[in-house]
Amino acid sequence: MNTISRSDFNYICELVRRRAAIVLEPDKAYLIETRLTPLARQNGFDSLQALIASLRLNAADSLHRKVVEAITIHETSFFRDAHPFETLQTTILPNLLARRSASQTLAIWCAACSSGQEPFSVAMLAREHFPALVKGRLRIIATDLSGAVLARAREGLYSQTEINRGLPAMLLTRYFDKQGLHWQIKPDIRRMVDFRQNNLAENWPLLPQMDIIFMRNVLIYFGLETKKAILAKVRGILKPDGYLFLGSSETTLNLDAGFEPISMGKTICYQLR
């Protein structure tokens, strides 16, 4: 393993911060080395240093984009952490449905959806427990910065290892087809999710007012000002009685006083004050 120089480390940190707002701490040199050394080889460079030298020289975009993709953590799983989905099923969706008229659509946004397991978990949950909602009254929008994970999400094709992480066997048999060594989510579940590219740190596309926003395990990668700016924009599109889900190590506390944490069993959601 080659050791990255401080100047190359700083260059990559700046690139990733500028493109994705992701802040790499000084102890993340190993991450850059382990992720970018294979990328350097795949792209015909002798070393990581040669890859970075080429990045510095060329304004061409595709290699820079690949570097940002390679550094970004896309970790996700079906029904990640389990309890937020239980709370969605037992409390939040019944509450919202009781408050909405039978003709109103519920809008759910999975921001930073990675390869799709999170929005597909929501779609399967709705299919299983709220069949009336699925008939034209549910809109699920899922966004991510990475075109590569979005392409995977749109295909809905998962390895056995990804399936083993959190997907109940009953849902596998109901909603997936075997495709060689992989499993593909059925077209009617795939069609329930509208996947779009969006950088949370830049201008957002036009989005409807949301009943529920999942923005889980992404704010942790951003600096303080970026987190504050994103939460302020979330306030702008969350309905007055809507719910925001963050990751288990994330919070709005000390970032945005406009949100109130609401405890529901093991789950903490955030609502507008």
> How far, in whole angstroms, is CA 133 from its chain's centroid?
23
Asked if residue 144 binds ligand SAM (CB under 6 A), the reply is: yes
Q: From the list 73, 82, 224, 232, which residue makes contact with ligand SAM (rule: CB under 6 A)?
A: 73
Residue 83 burial (C-beta neighbours within 10 Å; 0-12, 13-18, 19+): middle
Task: Please state the closest distance from residue 258 (CB atom) to ligand SAM, in A.
Answer: 21
Report the distance separating Cα 107 and Cα 183, nearest Å: 27
* Shortest Å, Cβ 110 to ligand SAM: 7
Residue 267 near ligand SAM by CB under 6 A:
no
217/267 with CB nearer ligand SAM: 217
Q: Which of 247, 251, 271, 272 binds ligand SAM (CB under 6 A)?
A: 247
What is the distance between the alpha carbons of residues 15 and 136, in angstroms, rounded to a whole number?
42
Q: Rounded to an integer, what distance in angstroms lies between the CA atom of residue 263 and that of residue 43?
A: 48
How many whole angstroms separate alpha carbon 165 and alpha carbon 182?
14
Indicate whether 21 belongs to the interface with ligand SAM (CB under 6 A).
yes
Q: Work out how close the CB of 31 gets to ligand SAM at its nearest, in angstroms, rounded to a whole number.
A: 13
Candidate ranges 17-25, 35-43, 158-166, 179-187; the one touching ligand SAM (CB under 6 A): 17-25
- Both tokens assigned to 151: 């392409």
Q: Of these, 8, 35, 78, 80, which contacts ligand SAM (CB under 6 A)?
A: 80
Is residue 249 part of the contact set for ligand SAM (CB under 6 A)?
no
Closest CA to 93 of 55, 144, 120, 132: 132
With CB under 6 A as the contact rule, the residue among 145, 171, 246, 269 that binds ligand SAM is 145
Which of 49, 184, 199, 248 contacts ligand SAM by CB under 6 A? 199
Phi/psi for 208 (5° steps) reads -70, 165
Shortest separation between residue 199's beta carbon and ligand SAM, angstroms: 4
Residue closer to ligand SAM, measured from CB, 37 or 143: 143
User: Alpha helices of the chain — where are they, by DSSP H?
Assistant: 6-20, 29-42, 48-57, 61-71, 83-87, 93-99, 117-129, 131-134, 147-155, 160-164, 169-175, 187-190, 224-237
Quote the tokens at residue 88: 């969605």
Give contact residues for ligand SAM (rule: CB under 6 A).
Answer: 20-22, 72-76, 80, 112-114, 118, 144-146, 149, 199-201, 216-218, 221, 247
